[in-house]
Amino acid sequence: MNTLNEIERAVQQLSSEDLAAFRAWFAEFDAELWDRQFEADVAAGRLDALAEKALKHLQEGRCTDL
């Protein structure tokens, strides 16, 4: 299974139980990838401007408590 079409066909053939297990596995897998990308972006300083803007808004009283 090395093409997207093959993977899609295989997923379509899963039982309800296996599909639920696949969903849970994929959600975890996708979250881990997102976390790694986010951490890399933070380490590279790609989010610094956003953090500075948020802190400025906080200091100016332009934020709402959640």
The model's confidence at residue 1, banded by pLDDT at 50, 70 and 90, is low
The model's confidence at residue 66, banded by pLDDT at 50, 70 and 90, is confident
DSSP 42-55: HHTTTTHHHHHHHH
Look-up: residue for tokens 């790694």? 36
pLDDT tens across 14-64, in order? 999 999 999 999 999 999 999 999 999 999 999 999 999 999 999 999 998
Domain annotation covers residue 66: no
pLDDT tens across 2-15, in order? 899 999 999 999 99
Domain annotation covers residue 41: yes
DSSP code at position 61: T
Domain hosting 40: range is: 4-59
The domain total for the chain is 1
Nearest to 42 by CA among 31, 53, 33, 50: 50
For the entire predicted model, the pTM comes to 0.70
- Residue 48: both structure tokens together: 């610094």
Domain annotation covers residue 64: no
